[in-house]
Structure 1
Amino acid sequence: MDPDALFFPLANALGASVDQIKILSCLLIAYPLGSLFTRIPSSQPNLKHTFNIFISVFFLIPVLNLHWGILHLLGSILGTYFIAANIRGPSMPWIVFVFVMGHLTVNFVHVFDGITVDIEVPQMILTTKLTSFAWNVHDGRKQEEDLDKWQLHKRVTRYPTLLEFLGFSFYFPGVLIGPPLDYASYISLIDESLFKSAELTKPMRRAIPDGRKRVAYRKMLMGLVFLGFFAALTPSYNFTTTLTPWFAKQSLLYRIAVFQFYGFVERCKFYTVWTLAEGASILTGLGFSGFGPSGESHWEGAANIKILEIELPSNFKVLLDSWNINTNVWLREYVYKRVTPKGRKPGFRSTLITCFTSASWHGIAIGYYLTFIPGGFVTYLSRKCRASFRPLVTPPPGAPSTWAKRIYDFLGTFICILLLNFVTAPFRLLTLANTMQAWSRLGWYGWWIVGFGVFFFNAGGSEYLQSLQKEQRHVVDVKRPHSLSPNVVMTLETAVEERS
């Protein structure tokens, strides 16, 4: 009997591929396995590593039939392990980066000895883990005073055994679609120091705090709800609908409006798998983030998305920080900051390099670059607006909100949603021709917004808004009560600047 026959009925019912159903099945199977994982005592770490390896191999070979794919994963893992161990110097993390990213790119173009590779997504997750590990090892070899807070917390000072490294690489709840985790977080999960560092408000029977099952299965239910949305809506409402003759016949305003709904439907796929994976990770203990005031445990550390902040973002930075969180942390800590010369602040160059890296990490299709490169310009404009417009409408600390601030917040959310869907459409459409056709049917509205913003800020807009801020501060200084001491004045000014 063909094992795939077990998945055919469900695939047909949901309108999905058999491989997609297999991945969903693995994520759901990971829930009871996560509870079993926590039964292994911390005194037997090698058994925990072996458990991770065994379950991941089970997912990859008997279920997903990725016999060749797992060899690719092992190639990147073993290569990184020996490079990081034997090359001591500032070039080591870059050598690992080129090695694993190059291997990933080769698999994207399907030319590895003529074999078709279906391991791309697990290898993408592995790439983030291996490159971050290389930097963490490099940081562990440096003086503490040369590291920032993040680097000091994540550095690796004791090189792992091969079994430890394989367990880290094959952590089973995240091996297929993430979330990725760094080596320090993995080890703190294995030895349960993740839980010992918290201030306990009441005695516990076990090292792992209570409450994780409630949170995890709530995540599972949420993931299944989004799966229902995606299965029911995606056949008729998706970005490829913009290419149909029906869409071209609608009015421009209607096209732009319904296009925003298409974006939500497209994101439901990611909400499904990432929420399911988060719940499975929580069941192993990953994601513990402390206790609340009433002693309840919080499990927010394994989140890869914050759905409300994505769908109704207050600004573009909040949106980016809420989407694919762990990958964004990887891009920020191991690309954005690392390509910036020491002693200098990251600038537009660092932003573009990071966006290009993100596009390359996703694949070689032109659509990825048509998403992430324009995304760099949107990020640039978001920072400019935050630095130039927001201080003009933000009331002083303790003062009630103003109509100007409410209008600013509404427009910020509205424009963020418009730009989010516009720049992410190529991610689904993939080709240049499809993207150009879709954007033209949307009146190129995203490029009009970006183009106007870039022109405004580079044609004197930044200087003009800064002058308005100076005038505003001058008026505040004149109206400020003279009874305030200079120290209080400085404290108020610092609070306003930090808030803006």
Structure 2
Amino acid sequence: TIKKQGAWVAQSVKRSRSQGPGMESHVSEEFASPSAPPPLCYPLAVFFRRYLFFKDSYLIHLFHTFTGLSIAYFNFGNQLYHSLLCIMLQFLILRLMGRTVTAVLTTYCFQMAYLLAGYYYTATGNYDIKWTMPHCVLTLKLIGLAVDYFDGGKDQNSLSSEQQKYAIRGVPSLLEVAGFSYFYGAFLVGPQFSMNHYMKLVRGELTDIPGKIPNSTIPALRRLSLGLVYLVGYTLLSPHITEDYLLTEDYENHPFWFRCVYMLLWGKFVLYKYVTCWLVTEGVCILTGLGFNGFDERGKAMWDACANMKVWLFETTPRFTGTIASFNINTNAWVARYFFKRLKFLGNKELSQGLSLLFLALWHGLHSGYLVCFQMEFLIVIVERQAASLIQESPTLSNLASITVLQPFYYLVQQTIHWLFMGYSMTAFCLFTWDKWFKVYKSIYFLGHVFFLSLLFILPYVHKAMVPRKEKLKKMG
């Protein structure tokens, strides 16, 4: 879950402050932290490139399995048996049940039940680095594996182009499943990738220079460097902008405008620890070649196959849907591919979207804050689409929105609303227990719920009043 994926950054920064005030100690402690192995995976990636890239597949699978198990043992000790058990049972499900709907449903039920049981028995009121952190990543991997294996047994003409890309035609061996599951560059915090993509890496196909190791060192270092920039920013700001302050009497005693501004700034800043984590990990994937995504129309190699962040879009978009499209990309793509689109039989896009967000909330954990956060996301996206449709279809609003001189003002207003209510949603996500998030929401009069629920009911009437009948008929036609 993303809260746990960012926890190694937050915990390491806290530890580093206890060692001294210098920035050098902050950054060096981050790299030395036992709960922060992604930077330490770079030497493993270099070794793989230098000695194993074109070697026999069984050697590559063994290397990935051994290094992943070592990382698991280093962080969680004997609790690595949780991942071993689920991988072994998943392999048996594939072999014994075959390419059947029963195998897919069994996988969904078993893997999610095991994860949720883990959350239940290990839950505390704090963010802890526990075996459930990598296990939530593994859960999605194994479910995706089962669905792709199921698709591999269908007639290719009955599959969409996306399903054809990911469908597994062969029968994975236990060693292949283990190597895929324990790949060191993604075992702890992701990103998600398919078995087919992993097997391309094993076969030496993920390179921009056929027959040679990928020319990916510079792209990998760029993502690592960008991740370190966010790490430094988080380290500098974390003493001054904390979620704990939201729970203090001092916060409640400040004026309403101050409480809103603080929530806005915190909402932007709190995501930096996740951005750091994903950028650093993406660099490892790029270095191995797993990040290779073919060539663009100009023939330039693309290294974004494992990108979990679109940094420029994340920093500049004034829309909630823009943040969703730029943040935690691979997990969102996984949910779209293996859950949302599989609910097409319901015949209701909003219902499918709501169930997908419910699945995401449960995948993150059993605390009420996750449900509230994703409920807010669902509400905000619906209202944002209504507002965009209204502005586009109303001649008056469309003309007003196109006034060039007012564009900076519109952008500022949009960004203010955007990050204020991103912070509002993230409050429930990060505080996650009912007593905490309810207290903060009460202190700002449930502003987010009042604002967006009001718009949800008002906008249809505004649309009816401001959109000419001919525009409505054109839309219906």
Instruction: Tell me, yes or no, whether TM beats 0.5.
Output: yes
Structure number with larger C-alpha Rg: 1
Asked if 1 retains the 8 angstrom alpha-carbon contact of 2:76 and 2:130, the reply is no
Asked if residue 245 in structure 1 is aligned to residue 249 in structure 2, the reply is yes
Corresponding position: 1:334 with 2:335? no
Specify the code of the residue in structure 1 equivalent to 2:121.
H
TM-superposed CA distance for 1:309, in Å, is 2.3
Structure 2 CA distance, aligned partners of 1:206 and 1:194? 10
The aligned residue for residue 83 of structure 2 is 73
Instruction: Give the match for residue 281 of structure 1.
Output: 285
Residue 105 (structure 2) pairs with residue 94 (structure 1): yes
Which amino acid letter does the alignment assign opposite residue 319 of structure 1? T
2:151 aligned partner? 139
Render the CA deviation track for 1:241-289: whole Å, top value 9, x for unaligned.
1111221222111221122111222112111111110111111101113
Aligned-residue offset at 1:413: 3.8
Aligned to 2:45: 34
Structure 2: unaligned runs, 5 residues or longer: 1-11, 20-24
**Is 1:12 paired with 2:14?**
no
Q: TM-score, normalised by structure 1?
A: 0.81
Q: Which amino acid aligns with 1:451?
A: L
Give how far 1:462 is off. Answer: 4.7
Residue 208 (structure 2) pairs with residue 207 (structure 1): no
Does the 8 Å contact 1:367/1:426 carry over to 2?
A: yes
Displacement of 1:445 in angstroms is 2.1
1:394 Cα shift? Answer: 12
Amino acid at match of 2:18: N
Paired with 2:158 and 2:210, the residues of 1 have a C-alpha distance of 41
Q: Distance in 2 between matches of 1:336 and 1:369?
A: 17
Structure 1 residues 386-425: aligned runs within 5 Å: 386-392=388-394, 402-403=403-404, 406=407, 411-425=413-427
2:192 maps to: 180
Range with greater deviation from structure 2 (126-135 or 79-88): 79-88
Change (3 A) 1:408 1:93: farther
Q: CA RMSD in A?
A: 3.3
The match for 2:166 among 110, 132, 154 is: 154
Structure 1 distance, partners of 2:159, 2:210, is 38
**Whole-Å separation in 1 of the counterparts to 2:334 and 2:221:** 27
Deviation sequence 1:133-190 (CA, Å, 0-9, x none): 1111111111223221211111111111111110001111110111121111111111
1:384-426 per-residue CA deviation (whole Å, 9 max, x = no partner) reads 2333333447999xxx954499476655444322221111111
Find the counterpart in structure 2 of residue 64 from structure 1.
75
SS in 2 for 1:337: helix
Distance in structure 1 (CA, Å) of the matches to 2:64 and 2:466: 55
TM-score (norm 2): 0.85
CA distance in 2, matches of 1:326, 1:370: 22
Decide whether the 8 Å contact of 1:282 with 1:299 is kept in 2: yes
2:367 to 356, 365, 368: 365
The one-letter code of the counterpart of 1:258 is Y
Distance in 1 of aligned mates of 2:14 and 2:252: 35
How far apart, in 1, do the equivalents of 2:55 and 2:283 lie? Answer: 25
1:83 aligns with 2:93: yes
**Residue segments in structure 1 that go unaligned for 5+ positions in a row:** 1-5, 199-203, 474-492
Report if the CA contact (8 A) 2:393-2:471 is conserved. no
Q: Is the 8 A contact 2:285 2:291 kept in 1?
A: yes
Q: CA deviation at 1:76?
A: 1.3
The alignment-based identity, stated in percent, is: 23
Q: What is the Cα deviation at residue 291 of structure 1?
A: 3.8
| CA distance in 2 between partners of 1:122 and 1:394 (Å) | 51
